[in-house]
Each structure stands twice: as C-alpha cells, then as structure tokens.
Chain A
C-alpha cells in the first residue's frame, strides 16, 4: 500500500511542477526553488512530517523534502545547542546528499566529456 501512496504523492508533486512549467513563464530553476520553499513552509506545523509518515519514501524523493530536512536539522541543533543551533545543525541531515552530489559531479566530470 505504501508503494501506491509513494507513487501517487511523488507523481502528484511532479504533475504540479509540470503544470506550472507549461502554463507560466517560470523556468525549472524557479520551480525547484519554489518547491523547496513550500517544503520548508509545510514543516512549520509538522504537516510534511505527517505526509512522510503516511507516504514513505515517495515524500522524500521530491525536492520539497530538501526544505523539510533543512528545518529538521536546524530543530535538532536547537535542542542540543540552544538558539545558535539553528545555524549549526541546519545542514546535518542534508549534508550527505549535497556532499555526495558535489563529489560524484566532480569525479564524473573529470572522466567524461560533453556529448554534443
């Protein structure tokens, strides 16, 4: 059942993105930035946590989860280090994704050349 929910939610987010892309002049860069902000905004009242609990990894795959993870890293930092922890812990949970993206992009770009 969780696979169906994953399929529906991830598909739904991509569908909204595609509708915005086709019907406005916004570029993919605008849309991904917008979705990150939406993901962070949904976490003010734990809404995105509820979605993740019901939908599973289907809610972690879209870029909206990036904003969600940034806020949660910050909140863990706040409980450990007080107010300054918001800045200290913000990248805790997303660090693995950003680091591996930088590393793989660099390594692959050394060995491959553009196709066209």
Chain B
C-alpha cells in the first residue's frame, strides 16, 4: 500500500515534458535542415558545375563541417537541447556527437581520451549501419539480383 502511494506521488511530480511542443519544434527544425540541404545541393550544382550526386556529397560535408565548428564554438549544445531530434536525426547529430566527445575527453590524453572515446556515440550508428547493410544487401542480391 505504502509503495503504491509513493509511486503515485512520484508519477504526479515527474517533470512535465511538453511533448506536443517538442514534436512541433523537431518537425520545423528538421524541415529547415532539409531545405538548407536542398539549397546547398542546388548551389553547388549550379556554381561548381558538378553532378547532383557529387553536389550531395559536398552538401553533407558542409553540414558536417558547420555542425563540428558550431559544437567546438560551444553554442550547438544549446541548439540541440532546444531542438532535440530536429538536430540529432539529421547528419548534424552525427558530427555533433563526435566533436563533443572529442572535446570532452581531450583532457584524458590524445590516445586514451580522445582516440578511445571519439566513437562512443557515433560508433553505434556505424556498427548497426554496416551490419544491417550487409544483411539487407544479401537479401537485396537474392531478391533483386544486384543493383
């Protein structure tokens, strides 16, 4: 009985997250990143006169560069805290996790700190990306017969 009352008290006083507001902000910020990506692709395609596939690679490198730079300068953390998944799901979140881990663990040494911890968060993306791409690539080869 005591435990039930306690659980109810805890449940009533848990921090209220504004889920609706969070979702709208994530939608808007994520959408804006998408539009910036499309703008950059068209910009590079037009001014550097390269194919759309090459322009997409330039675009992804630009976004990674900006996210790393803003993380290093210190204000990207506040943006991520505000936009949450709006900045974590795009490729900016990948660069942010690597740069913030690198800066944070630098004081523990270049090898044991920075080197060992840089992939702490980004490593899961690469690991599960490669494993799933390998398995699904096999399935695609069997079903679709290659590219």
**A residues with CB within 8 A of B:** 2-3, 6-15, 17-19, 21-23, 28-29, 31-33, 35-37, 40-41, 43-46, 56-58, 60-63, 65-67, 70-72, 74-76, 78-79, 86-87, 90, 93, 96-98, 100-102, 104-106, 108-115
Return B78 CB to nearest CB of chain A, in Å.
Answer: 10
Task: Tell me the complex Cα distance, A44–B80, Å.
Answer: 32
Q: Which residues does chain B contribute within 8 Å of A96, judged by CB atoms?
A: 57, 60-61
Q: Could you tell me if B125 and A61 are in contact, using CB atoms closer than 8 angstroms?
A: no
Interchain CA distance A2-B104 in the complex, whole Å: 39
Say which residue of B56, B84, B94, B104 sits within 8 Å of A114 (CB atoms).
B104
Chain B positions within 8 Å of A108 at CB level: 68-69, 71-72, 99, 102-103
Cβ–Cβ < 8 Å partners of A105 in chain B: 68, 95, 98-99, 101-102, 118
The reply to whether B68 and A101 form a contact with Cβ atoms under 8 Å apart is yes
Report how far A63 CA is from B31 CA in the complex, Å: 14
Q: Which residues of B contact A (CB under 8 A)?
A: 17, 19, 22-23, 25-41, 56-57, 59-61, 63-65, 68-69, 71-74, 77, 84-86, 88-91, 93-95, 98-99, 101-104, 106, 114, 118, 121-122, 124-130, 132-134, 136-141, 143-144, 146-147
Q: How far is the CB of A58 from chain B (nearest CB, A)?
A: 4
Tell me the nearest residue of chain A to B26, going by C-beta.
A18
The 6 lowest CB-CB distance pairs between A and B, nearest first, are: A10-B34, A14-B30, A11-B31, A58-B34, A18-B26, A70-B133
Q: Complex formed: what's the CA distance from A103 to B129 in Å?
A: 20
Whole-angstrom distance between the alpha carbons of A61 and B137 in the complex?
22
CB distance from A40 to the nearest CB of B (A): 4
Partner of B37, one of A60, A66, A113: A60
* A42 → B minimal CB distance (Å): 9
Task: Report Cα–Cα, A112/B114, bound state, in Å.
Answer: 13
A7 touches which of B31, B84, B114, B133 (Cβ 8 Å): B31
